[in-house]
Amino acid sequence: MARRIAAGAAYGGGSIGLLGAAAVGVLLAEVQLAKRQVGGGVAPVPPSADGRYGVAFAGPADPLRLGLLGDSTAAGQGVRRAGQTPGALLASGLAAVSERPVDLRNVAQPGAQSDDLERQVSLLLADTSRAPDVCVIMIGANDVTHRIPATQSVRCLTTAVRRLRTAGAEVVVGTCPDLGTIEPVYQPLRWLARRVSRQLAAAQTIGSVEQGGRTVSLGDLLGPEFEANPRELFGPDNYHPSAEGYATAAMAVLPTLCAALGLWPESERLDGARHADMLPVAKAASQAAKEAGTEVTGARAPWALLKQRRRRRLPAATEPHPHPESHGEPHGLPAGWPTGPRPAEQPAEDRPPVD
C-alpha cells in the first residue's frame, strides 16, 4: 500500500481509499469523543528558538545552518522555553558533535499540513546566500486527522525534499507519528489511526529516500514513555509533548542528522545487533514504520539501508544567542531571513484533535 501511495504521488495518481464509508462514520464519531478528552489546558505559543548555538566553538569555519520545517511537533508547541524545543535540542547537539556553531532557522507552523511545506521551503530558500546545510522535516499527523489524501501528502513532501536537495541541503524527515498511541483514542479508532498513520509514514519514507533524503520513523517512539509517565511527557495543554518528550524524539533524530553531514562514524559492515539490513526501499519503509527510531537511507536503487543508530545523550538545554549579523532583528535571525507570524495562543478545544 505504501508503494502504491508513493507511486500515485510521483505519477499523479488520485486518492487511494483506505477506509469504507461505514468505517469513516465510526472514525469521525470517535474523533469527536477524543476531541472532548484530549486537551483541557491552553497550548502556549511555541517559543522562537532561532539563533546561534555552540558559540563556544566559534573558529575559522563558518557556522552550520540548520532549518526546521513541519507542524507543531517541529515548532515545539507545548513548552515555554526556547531551549526545550526540538530545534534548540538538535542545534545544540549538532554543535557539540561538529564542534562548530550552528545557526537555527525554524519555519514550522503549528497545525500545518503537508501542503504548507511549499511556503516553508520558500522561506528557508529566500536568501540564497544563507541556504541551509541540513534540514529536518516533521509532518503528517494533521494530514491524517484532516483526511488529506495520502498521495497528496506524499507529493507535497517529496517536492519539498527535492527543492531542498536541489539547493544543496541534506534532508532528514521525521515521518508521521503513530496516532494509535494516544491514550483517549479508543477502538476501533485506535486501530484505524495506527494503520493509516503507519501507511503514510512508510509512503513518506519511500518518497523522501527516492529524492535523496533520509528518514527516521517517529512511530510510537513516545508511546511507552507516555504510558509510563503521562504527567512528565505531556505538556501544559495535556496533549503536546513536554520538554522530556521532545528530548526523547530529538535523541532519535540527532544521530541521523549528524550522519547526513558526515559527522557520525559509518561502518561498511551491517550491525545485526542494531537490526541493520539492506532491503528494497518499499520493504525497508514498511519495516521502519513498525519500529520507531529506525533510519532509512537510500543505497543503490532500488535498495535502501535500514538501521537503528545508537542514541546520543543530548547536551543540556541552552537558549539561542543572537546571530552576530542580525543587527537587532527579532529572535536573533540572520539578516535577510524572512520572519512569519506566529499563531495566537488558543484554547485546546479550538485546535484540531491531533497535531
- Residue positions annotated with a catalytic role: 72, 237, 240
Given phi > 0 = left and psi -120 to 50 = alpha, else beta, which region is 77? beta
Among the listed residues 350, 343, 324, the one whose alpha carbon sits nearest the alpha carbon of residue 77:
343
How far apart are alpha carbons 87 and 110 in whole angstroms?
A: 14
Q: Element (H or E) spanning 201, and its range? A: helix 189-210
How far apart are alpha carbons 87 and 180 in whole angstroms?
A: 25
Long-range interactions of 227-236: CB distance < 8 A, separation 24+: 227/183, 230/183, 234/78, 235/43, 235/77, 235/78, 235/79, 236/41, 236/42, 236/43, 236/44, 236/78, 236/80
Question: Are 282 and 206 spatial neighbours (Cβ–Cβ below 8 Å)?
Answer: yes
67-96 core/surface letters (b: 16 or more CB in 10 A; e: else): bbbbbbbbbbbbbeebbbbbbbbbbbbbbb
